[in-house]
Amino acid sequence: MKAVILDAASLGPDIDLAPIRQHLDILDVHDQSTRDQAAERLAGAEVAIVNKVVLDAQTLDALPALRLICVLATGTNNIDMAAAKRLGIAVKNVTAYGTASVAQHTLMLMLALATRLPLYQRDVAEGRWNQSPFFCLMGHTTLQLEGKRLVIVGQGELGSKVARLAQAFGMHVDFAARPGNEAHDSRPGLRDLAPEADVISLHCPLTEATRHLVDDALLASLKPDALLVNCARGGIIDEQAALEALRQGRLGGLGVDVLPEEPPRDGHPLLDALGEPLNLIVTPHNAWITPEARQRIVALTADNLRGWQAG
């Protein structure tokens, strides 16, 4: 059986592909591939292994030997699922590989924002500590997490893990109703919970119901020192509105690991604002990248291969 990995570089150079190789006769590995290169490189292969390379209907129609697509991620939006179904090509993704990694990153953002780390690091770099009349700086009011209220959108495995870590800091945790389903959900909606929230953390998919879920109206209802963290998908926050709230002192801190377009080839207002004295952190969609999480993707993909072969 022959398989081709189209974008192995997305896993990093330190990841061992042996668990996948042991289920195959031939494994061709390409670090990166374009959409146009996909058909040529997958010719004759029964299995395509792909992270973000687009496999559209035209490409799939040109691959009569292809029987399985293994996606090295949870999202399958780069695969034409209707075409795959029409052609009898199975599609297997991986889930819950980065729970510990993303939850850790979420708490890192929360803690850094609570301690006003971006602001104090800027002060130290600019020499303000050197000039202080006493031993410390305290120009930015910090937030003690113990006893504070965390509102989480998304009560899946990841949101639940973040809740447990936050509770270890003594926080009170509320889960918001699923956006768009508030009328049939026993949990309060985000708009009801927002005024009492000290921290909001997003762990939900980007859908029509969640696009700009955190908009200017919701931001206006928050406490002025509330923190907002997004390790889910860009666009769930109205980033421009959140940036203006931060600049105007209506938001205590903003930390995001995601932007609407990735990589942000044409820039983004949040990236431009990193030079301003704001309690703002932007990380490059790397909450998931611990070696353990990336190696877990390989293990789960090997499981998908084995299960498909057995079936």
Catalytically active residues, by annotation:
233, 262, 285
Hey, what are 212's tokens? 């700009």
Instruction: Return the closest-CA partner of residue 141 out of 108, 116, 111, 113.
Output: 116
DSSP 69-119: EEESSS--TTB-HHHHHHHT-EEE---SSSHHHHHHHHHHHHHHHHTTHHH
Alpha helices in 4-80 (DSSP H): 18-21, 35-42, 57-61
What is the three-class DSSP state of 62?
coil
Check if the beta carbon of residue 254 is closer than 8 Å to that of residue 234: no
Rg (alpha carbons) of the chain, rounded to whole number: 22
- Token output for 84: 């795959």
Find where tokens 């990248």 sit.
289
Question: Do you find a cis peptide bond into 263, omega within 30 degrees of 0?
Answer: yes
* Angle between helix 157-168 and helix 99-114 axes, rounded to 10 deg: 40
Around Cβ 165, how many Cβ atoms within 10 Å?
Answer: 17
- Sequence-distant (6+) residues with CB within 8 A of 228 are 199, 200, 214, 222, 237, 242, 251, 253, 254, 255
What is the maximum span of the chain, computed from C-alpha positions, in angstroms? 75
- Please name the residue that has the structure tokens 């374009």: 34
